[in-house]
């Protein structure tokens, strides 16, 4: 499989955080994307002000919204990190996810064919579980593949330093697992597409994504 993947790097798109730069959820997302990059993926992040999007509608598109949609359209995997607000995902993150509606008519509609890693930051165990369940349900509804492992972080413990480093090895390991599973799935999916289309290994990087119903 390693030989077949030579010359191709999956694109992992990260969505999350708050409008405040350096939030716990944004730092967790950046750490997960750093691990994805270490594993050979290309990464793109939408956090902070890049999530300051108009409420989703079917007509108007700002430059930020267009950038998000195009990134998701070409993504091989996605990682979503959200704070828990009142037992669910934040409205900011949900609004960003709503823009996947622009992909409904694509060959890979919504998040089909993509692994989606979930990261939840909350102040208590009850909020973590409820928010994670909601996020995974949303991913299922969008035809994405939630990774078997998800990361949950107690924000009250302040596990990140000002420079974004993680002081808790357990949390760091959780985020690494999420990234690893997203990248691994993207590579397995690419190999499957190449074999289904009868391509030689060197042709995989040129293969068009398979259509997903």
What is the token pair recorded at 4? 């077949």
Helix (H) or strand (E) holding 187: helix 169-196
pLDDT at 204: 44
How many other CB atoms are there within 10 angstroms of residue 209's CB atom? 17
Distance CA 64, CA 48 (A): 12
Please name the residues in contact with 15: beta carbons below 8 A apart, sequence gap of 6 or more: 29, 45, 46, 47, 51, 68, 78, 79, 80, 81, 93, 96, 97
pLDDT at 139: 98
Q: Strands, DSSP E only, in the chain?
A: 11-16, 42-46, 77-85, 88-89, 115-122, 145-146, 151-154
pLDDT at 172: 94
Please name the residues in contact with 104: beta carbons below 8 A apart, sequence gap of 6 or more: 110
In order along its 213 residues, the chain shows pLDDT tens digits of: 444 456 789 999 999 999 998 899 999 999 999 999 999 999 999 999 999 999 998 788 999 999 999 999 999 999 999 999 998 999 999 999 999 999 999 999 999 999 999 999 998 777 888 999 999 999 999 999 999 999 999 888 888 888 888 988 999 999 999 999 999 999 999 988 888 777 554 554 444 444 433
Helix (H) or strand (E) holding 174: helix 169-196
pLDDT at 213: 33
pLDDT at 6: 64
Per DSSP bridges, beta strands 77-85 and 115-122 are parallel
pLDDT at 200: 54
pLDDT at 205: 43
- The radius of gyration of the chain from alpha carbons, rounded to an integer in Å, stands at 17
The closest of 188, 79, 49, 197 to 144, measured between CA atoms, is 79
pLDDT at 74: 96
- The upper half-sphere exposure of residue 150, i.e. CA atoms within 13 Å in the direction of its Cβ, equals 23
Distance CA 89, CA 128 (A): 10
The closest of 113, 42, 128, 125 to 81, measured between CA atoms, is 128
């Amino acid at each position: 499989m390693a030989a077949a993947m030579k010359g191709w790097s999956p694109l992992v798109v990260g969505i999350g955080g708050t409008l405040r730069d350096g939030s716990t959820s944004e730092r967790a997302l950046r750490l997960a994307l750093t691990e994805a990059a270490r594993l050979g993926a290309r990464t793109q992040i939408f956090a902070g002000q890049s999530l300051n999007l108009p409420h989703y509608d079917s007509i108007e598109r700002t430059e930020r919204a267009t950038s998000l949609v195009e990134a998701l359209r070409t993504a091989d995997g996605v990682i979503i990190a959200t704070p828990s607000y009142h037992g669910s995902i934040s409205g900011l993150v949900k609004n960003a996810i709503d823009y996947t509606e622009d992909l409904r008519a694509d060959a890979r509609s919504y998040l089909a064919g993509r692994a989606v890693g979930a990261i939840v930051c909350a102040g208590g165990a009850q909020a973590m579980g409820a928010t994670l369940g909601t996020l995974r349900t949303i991913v299922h509804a969008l035809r994405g593949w939630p990774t078997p492992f998800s990361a949950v972080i107690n924000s009250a413990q302040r596990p990140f330093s000002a420079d974004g480093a993680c002081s808790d090895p357990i949390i760091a390991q959780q985020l690494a697992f999420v990234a690893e599973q997203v990248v691994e799935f993207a590579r397995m999916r690419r190999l499957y597409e190449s074999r289904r289309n009868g391509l030689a290994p060197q042709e995989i990087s040129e293969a068009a994504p398979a259509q997903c119903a």
